[in-house]
């Protein structure tokens, strides 16, 4: 069993074995969900495509999938 101690600011360092097991890295958001037994479960919050909607701006006309794939292929060749 791994343990952590809370600071006066309410911060807890998650032990390394737990971070590794959960795939937690710097900047990962976690959720605390209460289960039916009243216990809290810590889970990494996964970003979904819906979460990203609207963060990129494109001022030109809409592009087809084919146009986007061609642009990606050209950019990959430039690498």
Kindly state whether residue 64 falls inside one of the protein's structural domains: no
Q: Which CATH number do you get for residue 33?
A: 2.10.260.10
Place of tokens 């909607």: 53
Q: Residue 24: which domain range?
A: 1-47
pLDDT tens for each residue of 47-69: 777 777 777 777 888 889 999 89
**Phi-psi map region of 54: left, alpha, beta (phi>0 left; psi -120 to 50 alpha):** left
Given pLDDT bands bounded at 50, 70 and 90, which one contains residue 10? very high
Kindly state whether residue 12 falls inside one of the protein's structural domains: yes
- The reported pTM is 0.52
Kindly state whether residue 73 falls inside one of the protein's structural domains: no
Overall domain count for the chain: 1
Kindly state whether residue 57 falls inside one of the protein's structural domains: no
């Amino acid at each position: 069993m791994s343990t952590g101690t809370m600071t006066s600011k309410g911060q807890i360092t998650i032990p390394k074995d737990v971070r590794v097991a959960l795939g937690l890295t710097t900047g990962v958001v976690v959720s605390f969900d209460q289960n039916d037994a009243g216990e809290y479960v810590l889970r990494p919050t996964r970003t979904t495509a819906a979460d990203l909607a609207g963060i990129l701006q494109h001022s030109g006309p809409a592009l087809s999938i084919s146009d986007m794939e061609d642009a990606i292929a050209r950019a990959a060749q430039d690498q």
